[in-house]
Structure 1
Amino acid sequence: MGRTSRKKRSTLANRAIVASAALILGGGGLVAVNVYASAGEGSSGAPPERSWNAGRQMSTIDCPDAGIALPDVPDRARPEVDRELAAMDTQITDAYRQFADRREQIARDPNLAENAVLGPLKNKRAASLDRIGIAIERNAVERPQNLDGLAPCSLRADDGDGSGQGGEQGGEQGGDPGGAQNPGEEADQGQDGGQDEGADQGGGDQGGGDDQGQQGNGPDASDFVDIQSVQPNVDRPRNRRGASRGTFSTDCGRNENGKFNPDNVIAAPGVSNGAHHMHDYIGNQATDAFSSDDDLAGGETTCRNQGDRSTYYWPVLRLQNGQDENDVDADGGGKDQNTGEIQTPSQVTLKFVGSPAGKVTAMPRFLRIITGDAKAFTNGDANANASWSCTGFENRQLKDKYPICPEGSQVVRSFAFQSCWDGRNTDSANHRTHVAFAQDDGRCPNGFRAIPQLVQRIVYDVPPGPGFAVDSFPEQLHKPVTDHGDFINVFDDRLMKKVVSCVNGGRKCR
């Protein structure tokens, strides 16, 4: 999907309710920011204060994540199960649109939320879950227990702390053993320090004006923090004797080609708009929802080393400036509450690093890894792996806040992917349990072996202040904790051997 000139303001912005907040920057300046409660809200003439309060009471739809609850799915059932899981995401998106359109009515009549939104959503989810159970049973495997318990959803408030906790369902989502972020990982992973900084930066008077500030269904002013107020919090793991200290870097550009789509070939293969948000792609140019391994093997690549045809993708970052992209009326864009001007990174670094505890082994070709959780706002942060900072301040990492960078500093988002592999599978039913993070001592869990760890660093030259957000599922409100990255290894065997040799041999290679 290419870029477009910006000639008109979004119709979503014309219907948004605005809340103004003052954010004090480290340099002592005072900057006003307008944060929209929710895109697509109806305009019935109610005062802004009333609509804002209703939005704060019930901000989003919180549903159990069925994908996490299904760690074991027979291979032959996976295509059908993946399609149903993707359909359930679409059901939530459709319900979120209804909820947003009827927000003021629901504030006056809370029963309407259950009768007109949550009840029908529960019935649709129950039907999908039943089809999932049938697909698994059809392959001579016992039907998963308690599928019916995953059908109900609830309305929850955005508590403004960006933690991804709270809500009726949020605390019930269990993480898998390979999904949680390990605090002993590579320094590019953020720790939790400084997450509560800036709690006094929100507030401010309610305001209006379609031409001011941010547009869309989030983020909230409290989702931003001045990076200069955060204490250094990166704890580098200590290398042990025999550590693999080398690195291998691959240059695949910055998506100068403008390759975007809202698919997710890992989590929702064969489903158009499976992500409900737009992704940047670098590397393999054949990647979409319908790409097979053979398609990827034969695809062109933006990587300078043609032996690397891997796929690297992540949610786009947009300026919330009221300007339209050409996806304003498209799936993954405006139709899924993702609006604003897509930003091309100023720099992308892809580096494979070693293990502090020993040597690494080659990744299998077509290994798929998802790091982070696109639904962490409602799931909780068990699988979250977002890391935000600013150039010049990268010893200070934020997990669930966006950084406000000082003048001359750029926004940095980074991902340190799982570095342990189960030695057998290139994917798993929930796309997590075949890989894991290293333990606190740097060693892989029992049954896993160390592989070269992908560390991604993406830099953006955006105006200072809280005027940006990543794309997300609509109900995730563009929270920073929902940031995530995806990788499919399509190195040829010769180049992967070089990667392993460089990493284990302590060399810096390209």
Structure 2
Amino acid sequence: MSSPVPPQHARPKRAMAVVWASAAFVAVSAAVIIVHLAGAPSGAVEPSSYAASNAAPGAPQTVAVGPSSSPAAKPSATSPSAAVTKTAAAPPQEPPKAGWIPVDQAAWQAQVAAFKARKIDPVPAGVGNLPEFRADCQYSHRLADDPIVFPDMPGASHMHSFVGNKAVDAHTKAGDLTKFTATTCKPVVDHSAYWVPTLYDAASGKPVETTGFRVYYRSVRNNSTGIMPIPTGLRMIAGDAKKKVPTPRGAQGQFYCAFYGPGDLDGIARSTNGNWPICGGDATLHFMLQFPDCWDGKHLDSPNHKDHVAYGSDKGCPADHPVRIPALTFDIQYGVKGTTQGYYLSSDTTGRSASSMHGDAFLMWDSDAMNKRTKDCIAQRRTCDNNGYLH
């Protein structure tokens, strides 16, 4: 990944390293995710003890403005978006009424048939046995838009930081992701868009953007029974933007400090309000967000953007969400160490806790690439990186 210095983690020797500085963090984080899901799956992944790892509301903000929905306005793969001064509109009281978006069953069945017919690629010697593949992404742009929650309503959302597909704004539809494919992610066959609420420095009011954003697609269970590829166009949200409770040391859903070697995930100190860690050594702020791994097989979205997916267990998926799919995990790095003043998210500018952290995923891979990775990496439980087997 070509982003600035990423976090370093330790990884079991069986899964040879490449996670920004070391890929070992994956094995432990997978176990952490399973433990978390055994409790109340709110989306935030709680790191356990292991070694490794808006400006003020209404004020003018300098934002990287994404394109409109017209082709002429879409950015090229090489031209950065223009920076302009813009005042973010206040969010409406309620999001627009959205409904269930059905999957194109013919297209889905064709993808399933192709997946079942695909043969597993030969496995090179030395490949690890962590069932996962991934996309490494860089920051793309910042907009007060949300094409999932507030479609066709530019400026209606709190500020979001986008990675992946560069052409995303409030008007983005599934077809746009396949038509305008310039991306900040590797591999480039991942045309998806991923976004989270923007993080701000509480002292300066300036945004703090991600310096590393890895999206894992993995099995978080002890088996891969019945695993199927993710359907093109699936969208979902993890976490709760309306949750505004304190996140003191040890709380669920807090940011943590990632480091290499012994240290304190909760930081060597806390911000004055106690909600944010201050990291020691080479550690920087991180957040992990876990998405569901079961799908109803019928809908690409639901009114609350969550009801069409669910969290499964080692025994399988719920009867009303019978399709097991790779589980997304956002592993997000911010290149800051923490301050006494702390930070705040655009989704909670007053309480200034981390509990409203959430993530959106609008998924659009090349279907053959998705099928290949799901079969090679998840179905047969082998470790893959951005391009295939990791060895």
Q: Deviations over 1:385-406 (max 9, x none)?
A: 83521113799579x9432322
For 1:431, the equivalent position in structure 2 comes to: 305
Q: What secondary structure does 1:251 align onto?
A: strand
Q: Deviations over 1:125-183 (max 9, x none)?
A: xxxxxxxxxxxxxxxxxxxxxxxxxxxxxxxxxxxxxxxxxxxxxxxxxxxxxxx9653
Q: Distance in 2 between matches of 1:469 and 1:396?
A: 17
Q: Distance in 2 between matches of 1:397 and 1:265?
A: 34
**Are positions 1:389 and 2:389 aligned together?**
no
CA RMSD of aligned residues (A): 3.3
Residue 349 (structure 1) shift = 1.6
**Are positions 1:313 and 2:186 aligned together?**
no
Q: Distance in 2 between matches of 1:312 and 1:394?
A: 30
Q: Distance in 1 between matches of 2:46 and 2:286?
A: 11
Residue 317 (structure 1) shift = 1.5
CA pair 494-467 structure 1, distance change in 2 beyond 3 A: farther
For 1:508, the equivalent position in structure 2 comes to: 383
The one-letter amino acid paired with 2:319 is N
The one-letter amino acid paired with 1:246 is P
CA pair 476-372 structure 1, distance change in 2 beyond 3 A: farther
Residue 480 (structure 1) shift = 0.7
Larger Rg: 1
**Are positions 1:465 and 2:339 aligned together?**
yes
Residue 345 (structure 1) shift = 2.3
Q: Distance in 2 between matches of 1:446 and 1:401?
A: 39
For 1:447, the equivalent position in structure 2 comes to: 320
Q: What secondary structure does 1:280 align onto?
A: strand
Q: Is the 8 Å Cα contact of residues 410 and 462 (structure 1) preserved in structure 2?
A: yes
Q: Distance in 2 between matches of 1:463 and 1:273?
A: 30
Q: What secondary structure does 1:433 align onto?
A: coil
For 1:287, the equivalent position in structure 2 comes to: 168
CA pair 298-387 structure 1, distance change in 2 beyond 3 A: farther
The one-letter amino acid paired with 2:39 is P
For 1:346, the equivalent position in structure 2 comes to: 211
1:56-455 superposed matches below 5 A: 182-183=38-39, 189-190=45-46, 216=56, 245-252=130-137, 254-255=138-139, 257=140, 259-276=141-158, 278-299=159-180, 300-322=182-204, 340-354=205-219, 355-359=221-225, 360-377=227-244, 386-392=253-259, 401-439=275-313, 441=314, 443-448=316-321, 449-455=323-329
Q: Distance in 1 between matches of 2:55 and 2:150?
A: 28
Question: Would you say how many aligned residue pairs link Structure 1 and Structure 2?
Answer: 257
CA pair 464-478 structure 1, distance change in 2 beyond 3 A: closer
Q: Distance in 2 between matches of 1:453 and 1:395?
A: 27
Residue 376 (structure 1) shift = 0.9
Q: Distance in 1 between matches of 2:162 and 2:283?
A: 25
Residue 367 (structure 1) shift = 0.5
Residue 190 (structure 1) shift = 1.3
CA pair 405-414 structure 1, distance change in 2 beyond 3 A: same
Q: Deviations over 1:354-405 (max 9, x none)?
A: 1334332111111011000100128xxxxx983521113799579x943232
Q: What secondary structure does 1:362 align onto?
A: coil
Residue 321 (structure 1) shift = 2.6
CA pair 215-185 structure 1, distance change in 2 beyond 3 A: closer
Q: Is the 8 Å Cα contact of residues 374 and 472 (structure 1) preserved in structure 2?
A: no
Q: What secondary structure does 2:371 align onto?
A: helix
Q: TM-score, normalised by structure 1?
A: 0.45
Q: Distance in 2 between matches of 1:442 and 1:341?
A: 46
Q: Looking at secondary structure, tell me which structure has more strand per residue.
A: 2
What is the percent sequence identity of the aligned residues? 27
Q: Distance in 1 between matches of 2:263 and 2:240?
A: 22
Q: TM-score, normalised by structure 2?
A: 0.58
Q: Is the 8 Å Cα contact of residues 55 and 200 (structure 2) preserved in structure 1?
A: no
CA pair 182-385 structure 1, distance change in 2 beyond 3 A: farther
Residue 269 (structure 1) shift = 0.7
Q: Distance in 1 between matches of 2:223 and 2:302?
A: 26
CA pair 507-387 structure 1, distance change in 2 beyond 3 A: farther
The one-letter amino acid paired with 1:304 is K
Unaligned segments of structure 2, at least 5 residues: 1-35, 58-128, 246-250, 268-273, 387-391
Q: Distance in 2 between matches of 1:279 and 1:442?
A: 36
Q: Distance in 2 between matches of 1:320 and 1:263?
A: 22
Residue 288 (structure 1) shift = 0.8
CA pair 394-454 structure 1, distance change in 2 beyond 3 A: farther
Q: Distance in 2 between matches of 1:374 and 1:364?
A: 25
